Structure 1
Amino acid sequence: MRVIDCSAMIGYGVVNHTVVNHEGFTLVERVAEARDAGEMIAYMDYCGIESAIVGHQAMIDVTPTYGNQKLVKETAKCPERLIPSWTILPPATDEEFEPEKLFQAMQEHQVKALRAYPTTQRYFLERITMDELLTELQMRKIPLFLTPSEGYEHIYRLLEQYPRMRVIIHNYGPWSPDRFWFPLLRAYQDVYFETGDYETDGGLERMIGRFGSGRFVYGSDFPTNNIGGSLAVLRSLEISSSSREEIAHGNIERLISEAKA
């Protein structure tokens, strides 16, 4: 089975490393991280991952601009296996994220997806703050990775205003997210969920049975999760082989191919 990891991070955190503080619980644990592209590829090879869409920890710990630049240097070392995803900021305050400048730079560096951390980086991800950019993202079908570790409110608000936005929800924690997910899956056909955190017994099978395998993509959320553990969950799902292939690589390949940066 071919596997594409849709969401992993290169770079050491400022502090190594508290496991993501889901639902107010802080679990302190030293975790494996990939300092650079070489270490990332080594983890991928060990687990049998063909390629990965990656970000850089400096996008969060320092600034998106600095992290985006560091990421490009790393993914350029192995462009056939590492696909860059940048983090955005409001163009009103950070001019390099004006649509014309951003999309030109994305084309130059083969960036295929974007990320946003509005609470951490102190802005509102909505029309009044950045309509010009968000309208373009929706029109161009560029996948936007969002994490509800900052709450689901900004995700719901964004989708109310941009209902055809291609959103991939990741890094949501180990507890059952069904009451948050079901309304989004039912209301918005361009919302997708990464599988890496889902640990509820039988939960993914139930989701896939109800909404179809086309709404889910494999992602480890490394280093928050170990790649091997999240991959073991994918391999153990009691679903058809065709559905497993869709989740493992087919869905994310389609989303990336349809994006027009």
Structure 2
Amino acid sequence: MRFFDSNVIYGVHPFKPSQFCVPNIVSLKEHLRDACIDYALVRRYEQLQGGVILGNKQIAEDIKDTENLWGMWSIVPHLTNEIASPADICSEMREKRIAAWQLCPQSHGFPFHYRVLYDYLFLAQAVAIPIFVKVPGEVASVDMLNVLDNFPDLAFIISLSDVWPADRFIRPVLQQFPNCKLEISNYLIDGAIEEIVECFGPTRLIFGSGFAESHFGGQMLAIKHAAIDEASKDLIASGNMLNLIKGIKYDI
């Protein structure tokens, strides 16, 4: 079984230490190798706390010579000219191995409303860019639903900001928005993986560990020992994320 970790963060946090000291890409590669992680979608603390321009540039520089790592860029309203415009961003993403966006309106100081990010959301829906959102830490659930009401085909990957059960929110979203998926780093309910697979199929879950704030092994173990068939385990462990990347239409 191959593992694609979709939730990996490293770098230097200015306010609090993470559970593991992973200041740079060299250290991260060592941790990934030791944990038998085959692929990873990575981001840096600097993209949240050090500024979008610097952080996005750093992540692209870190992964430029890799074959098993992809980067995630922070997206903010483009009229401040901090990131590439919607017209230019796809070509830059393809060149720099960027395979997803993260939306962090709480950290970056803008309202999470479809009008504020309209051009990027329109693009992401058209070219199938995965968008990671942390609920409710960065994005309120009602605001996410507002965006999905206007862009129902977005590929939102929902990360939970704590371990409290969120199924009363998650399951209606999965039912009504077929391109939304759940990243499972904080989805720690006994039997929940099995129930989601039974209700919605194995393509709606994405493996993520939350490293360096959590260890890789917890959710790797949960997938390996889930009471589901091996093909479903393979999809959750790596196949779903690889398929999302293959589906990005960079040339549109």
Whole-angstrom distance in 1 between the partners of 2:180 and 2:98: 20
Which runs of no fewer than 5 residues in structure 1 stay unpaired? Answer: 18-29
Whole-angstrom distance in 2 between the partners of 1:81 and 1:33: 21
Normalising to structure 2: TM-score of the pair? 0.93
**Is the Cα–Cα contact under 8 Å of residues 90 and 97 in structure 1 kept in the other structure?**
no
Counterpart of 1:138 (choices 86, 100, 125) is: 125
Whole-angstrom distance in 2 between the partners of 1:154 and 1:222: 27
1:146-185 alignment to 2 at 5 Å?
A: 146-148=133-135, 149-150=137-138, 151-185=140-174
Partner secondary structure for residue 135 of structure 1 = helix
**Structure 2 residue 84 is the aligned partner of structure 1 residue 100:** no
**Structure 2 residue 18 is the aligned partner of structure 1 residue 4:** no
Whole-angstrom distance in 1 between the partners of 2:21 and 2:203: 30
**Is the Cα–Cα contact under 8 Å of residues 197 and 225 in structure 1 kept in the other structure?**
no
Which runs of no fewer than 5 residues in structure 2 stay unpaired? Answer: none
Whole-angstrom distance in 2 between the partners of 1:10 and 1:260: 28
Normalising to structure 1: TM-score of the pair? 0.90
**Structure 2 residue 251 is the aligned partner of structure 1 residue 235:** no
Partner of 1:42: 30
Quote how far apart the aligned CAs of 1:89 are.
0.6
Counting aligned pairs with the same residue, the percent is 24
CA shift digits 1:96-144 (9 cap, x unpaired):
3321232232122121111110122111233321212210111000000
Quote how far apart the aligned CAs of 1:216 are.
0.6
Partner secondary structure for residue 147 of structure 1 = strand
Whole-angstrom distance in 2 between the partners of 1:142 and 1:257: 10
**Is the Cα–Cα contact under 8 Å of residues 144 and 166 in structure 1 kept in the other structure?**
yes
Whole-angstrom distance in 1 between the partners of 2:161 and 2:175: 19
1:184-223 alignment to 2 at 5 Å?
A: 184-223=173-212
Amino acid at match of 1:2: R
**Is the Cα–Cα contact under 8 Å of residues 185 and 210 in structure 2 kept in the other structure?**
yes
**Structure 2 residue 39 is the aligned partner of structure 1 residue 54:** no
Partner of 1:25: none
Amino acid at match of 1:53: L
Partner secondary structure for residue 174 of structure 2 = helix
Partner of 2:60: 72
Amino acid at match of 2:74: T
Partner of 2:76: 89
CA shift digits 1:152-200 (9 cap, x unpaired):
2222121111100011011432111100101101110000011111111
Whole-angstrom distance in 2 between the partners of 1:102 and 1:240: 39
**Structure 2 residue 235 is the aligned partner of structure 1 residue 246:** yes
**Structure 2 residue 15 is the aligned partner of structure 1 residue 15:** yes
**Is the Cα–Cα contact under 8 Å of residues 160 and 187 in structure 2 kept in the other structure?**
no
Return 38-47 or 124-133, whichever deviates more.
124-133
Partner secondary structure for residue 174 of structure 1 = coil
Whole-angstrom distance in 2 between the partners of 1:94 and 1:198: 36
